Structure 1
Amino acid sequence: MRTSIATVSLSGGLAEKLQACADAGFDGVEIFEPDLIAGDRSPEEIRALAARLGLTLDLYQPLRDIEGVDEATFAENLRRAGATFATAARLGIDTVLVCSNVATATVDSDDVSAAQLRRLGEVASTHGVRVAFEALAWGRFVDDYRRAWRIVELADHPSVGVCLDSFHVLSRGHDPSAIADIPGDKIFYLQLADAPALSMDVLSWSRHHRLFPGEGAFDLTTFTAHVLSTGFDGPLSLEVFNDTFRQTDPDRTAVHALRSLLWLQDKVAHHPQQSAASHLFPVADAEPAVGFDFVEVKAEDTSEVEVVLDQLGFTARGRHRTKPVSLWVAGAARVVLNEQLARDQAPHIAAVGLAVPDADATTRRAVDLMAPRAFRRTYGSEQPLGSAVAPDGSEIFWSTASADGSHPAWVDEFTDGAPADPASPVRVIDHVNLTQPWQTADEAVLFYTSVFGFSADAPTEVAGPTGLIRSQVMRTADGAVRLPLNVAPHVLSGSAPTQHVAFACTDVLGVARAARARGLPFLPVPDNYYDYVAGKFGVDASVVAELRELDLLYDRDTDGEFVHFYTRTVGNVFFEFVERRGHYDGYGADNAPVRLAAQRRDTAR
């Protein structure tokens, strides 16, 4: 289907926004009136610019506070509307958005509103313009799309139809199934936005916290399927009011926005209500990852990380035959240490490898969803890997998982190493914690959801010594891949946010004892914490003593127990070792403030 976006969703001036939309690949745009009146180009110049860029101008908006008023007020409103319609005609736009009255409505009557919309339609038609009437979620009298449709039916004018906006429908919890009762040719426009689940007034929620499809809590797939079931053939258009998107690079935001519409079309195409999907963008199918393949730590000098891995019982599997890269292995957990093109870089997580059922299928899906490719020089004798660059700059690689469970072919490119210990209590990579810049956090959720088929857990907040950390876990349904994405508070100049890799163990106490015997310095945990554990969980004194001795942390819920420890930070990365007992599925969230405070003290020392 054709795609469109409201200029209010992007930062910059109007011409800059149009260029960004065209470069991203949108078919059209909605012109937000304040963008036009703040610019120095005439409507005719904007119309010509859009034509040169290959963009249609699909909607002019918004025309506010028109219907539900007394006759004297309506006469003035008609004059104002006529000026708006004239501007739309100069732009070459044939549809104007009219919002239900919020500020001046005094007459709560469908008949009165319908009669006024009919007269509005008469004026609009003289300019070659249609009126798309939208029920705002905070409208004084009309705040439900079903009532808006009743009024449009009563108006009974060919130039008057409805605009359906997913936010105004879903934020109020209205059932979208009645959309199917609206004739498709009377749905003049469709606007789409997602949003997080928040408890606040709908106006503030709408103005500051809308998201692109796939990033929030709304069921946009079902909503859109209901609209398309009517025969609606207009564009899928985004109207997203968001403080972050209004102050970040419009070129990047436009690509991000279009990816969300491609993802949505893919979801709708697979919806049981959607019988014919030929008009929807075809996104290649790919099954989610079945596990982690590797994690890569990059630095100019990785020797300090090598020492830590050795103390933790990892085996040096060898050096790459053509690159300054080494591989360390414990169980099925693989850590790649990369010193290539890393001058002046401290140790940090640079890449994550995924094992997928079909690498070619994942690559096709990444291309369809406009994921930028990560370039790594690969020689003819080396295994090529699928790749993409995540919004935070991390590189994601993938290869087809071995059916027999053996190691991937790329491991054989590492030579002169020792065989891995078959009795290692370390099993796999449990999760990789990636710190996100504030301006890319929402984009990252969509990236992992759309390209890799991960689901997003509900966001949580963790209190640290320098502020709140917002965390949201991206994961596969079976938990084989877990990527907690953390938005950290502002850090002091010269410092960088830390990231970490967690490894799943069958015996975390054994790993801790062996590592301590090899001289590994653990992240020190304060005695107060162990008094808290004993009181909260009623843990036996001998168990608490063992936890205290090894600087281990503990958590428990109705499904099981969680025992884990952290290493000290090397550069910007540290390691965590976890043992999940029973069916425990969390991450010891209550222990995070303890860890953050301990790391701050350790760094200060």
Structure 2
Amino acid sequence: MSTLCLNTFAFSPFAGTKEPPSLPELLAAVHDAGFTAIGLDVFSVLGYGRPLAELAAEVAAAGLRCPEMLGFVVDADEAAALAGARQVAEACAAFGADFALGMVMLAPDARCADLFARCAEIIAQAGARAAVEFLPFTPVATIADARTLVAHAGTANSGVLVDAWHFFQGADTWATLDALPVAEIAYVQIDDHPELLPPGADFYTECMSRRVFPGEGVFELGTFRDALLTKGYDGLVSVEVINPGLVGLGAAPYARTARAAVARHWA
């Protein structure tokens, strides 16, 4: 049975939150909503200014685990990419995270694949897998692009992060999702949007500001779920809804609404 997780990146300063909740407030909201797992980001974690082991113990004491940690970036600055991988690997080791989320800002050619594989190896040494996220506004825009990197790094060290937002708003089809082997999937993120965006839209801004809870938009989430379950996927399902207006409701209402939404669309 899949583990249901609440990804809290929407509350991160990196996502634009001016006054993020404290870690205890966030943990209480996620636990009380009925989740057993929380997704954290390394930017917020480092911003707490406390030892990683201490923060990880606080997560465990709240009755939660942290299976996903955002993140690292693979781009033209090789040294920065490797440093970012080491930073997120340290956080994964401390929290016992299964996955480190990575974004790739280079075309998935041989040079990019080699650099991603080096990052994935660093992360694997910390006991986690590098989850490469395909995004329609980056050079790694499709499932096929992400699979190219995973094929080079190996499924022991890496996998494809399948985010409903990027699947429905990108160029992928049900056929490309069906063709993705379950062994190549790292984990799944679920969310929704008020509309399917036309070519030329500002995908980045829409992605970072107008997501809605599952079932409140136009995504065919039942078909999405069934396509993944049919291939035997039973791993992590993380709710990731980045929307400043919804974040402004507060951590507890946000978490409760997210939990009810994912229960309707994945349970």
| TM-score for the superposition, normalised by structure 1 | 0.40
Shift of 1:121: 2.1
Q: Matched residues, percent identical?
A: 26
Give the match for residue 44 of structure 1.
53
8 Å CA contact 1:210–1:242 kept in 2: the answer is yes
SS of match in other structure, 1:214: coil
Distance in 2 between residues matched to 1:42 and 1:15, nearest whole Å: 15
Partner Cα separation in structure 1 for residue 148 and residue 236 of structure 2: 23
Q: For 1:220 and 1:51, how far apart are their aligned partners in 2?
A: 31
Please point out which of 66, 74, 80 is paired with 2:84: 80
CA contact (8 A) 2:92 2:127 kept: no
1:161 deviation in Å? 1.1
Give the alignment partner of residue 102 of structure 2, picking from 71, 75, 98.
Answer: 98
Would you say the 8 A contact 1:179–1:226 is kept in 2?
yes
Deviation per residue, 1:445-497 (Å, 9 max, x gap): xxxxxxxxxxxxxxxxxxxxxxxxxxxxxxxxxxxxxxxxxxxxxxxxxxxxx
Q: Give, in whole Å, the separation in 2 of the partners of 1:264 and 1:210.
A: 16
Residues 235, 211 of structure 1: CA spacing in aligned structure 2 closer, same or farther, 3 A cutoff?
Answer: same
Amino acid of the structure 1 residue aligned with 2:238: S
- Report if aligned partners of 1:181, 1:230 keep a CA contact under 8 Å in 2: no
Q: Which residue of 2 aligns with 1:89?
A: 93
Q: Distance in 2 between matches of 1:231 and 1:100?
A: 27
Q: Deviations over 1:428-460 (max 9, x none)?
A: xxxxxxxxxxxxxxxxxxxxxxxxxxxxxxxxx
Name the amino acid aligned to 2:78.
F
1:194 corresponding residue in structure 2: 192
Q: Matches of 1:165 and 1:224 in 2, distance apart?
A: 11
The count of corresponding residues between Structure 1 and Structure 2 is 255
Match in the other structure for 2:111 = 112
Separation (CA, whole Å) in 2 of partners of 1:124 and 1:235: 18
Q: Is the 8 A contact 1:191 1:236 kept in 2?
A: yes
Q: Do structure 1's residue 27 and structure 2's residue 36 form an aligned pair?
A: yes
Q: What residue number does 1:228 align with?
A: 229
Give the corresponding residue for 2:14. none
Among candidates 64, 70, 73, match of residue 61 of structure 1:
70
Quick check: 1:207 aligned with 2:216? no
Q: Distance in 2 between matches of 1:217 and 1:243?
A: 20
* Deviation string, structure 1 residues 377-397 (Cα, Å, up to 9, x no partner): xxxxxxxxxxxxxxxxxxxxx
Which of residues 9, 14, 17 is equivalent to 2:23? 14
Matched residue of 2:226: which SS?
A: helix
Contact 2:40–2:66 (CA under 8 A) maintained in structure 1:
yes
Question: Deviations for 1:500-523, whole angstroms, at most 9, x for unmatched residues?
Answer: xxxxxxxxxxxxxxxxxxxxxxxx
Change (3 A) 1:45 1:245: farther
Higher relative contact order (CA 8 A, sep 6+): 2
Q: Map Cα deviations across residues 203-255 of structure 1 (whole Å, 9 max, x no partner).
A: 11111100110001111221222222222221221111001122112112211
Matching residue's letter, 2:167? V
Offset at 1:109? 4.5
Report the Cα distance in structure 1 between the residues aligned to 2:187 and 2:155, rounded to whole angstroms: 16
Report the alpha carbon displacement of residue 29 of structure 1 after superposing the two structures with TM.
0.9
Task: Say what the alpha-carbon RMSD is for the aligned residues.
Answer: 1.9
Alpha-carbon deviation of 1:173? 4.7
Q: Is the 8 A contact 1:117 1:160 kept in 2?
A: no
Matches within 5 A, 1:253-402: 253-265=254-266, 281=267
Q: Residues 177 and 45 of structure 1: is their aligned pair in 2 closer, same or farther, counting only changes over 3 Å?
A: farther
- 1:100 deviation in Å? 1.9
Relative distance call for 1:169 and 1:225 in structure 2 (3 A) is same
C-alpha distance in structure 1 between counterparts of 2:62 and 2:80, whole Å: 37
Cα distance in 2 for partners of 1:158, 1:22 equals 31
- Tell whether the 8 Å contact from 2:155 to 2:183 is kept in structure 1 after alignment: no
| Whole-angstrom distance in 1 between the partners of 2:204 and 2:164 | 14
In terms of fraction of residues, the more strand-rich structure is: 1
Matches within 5 A, 1:460-471: none
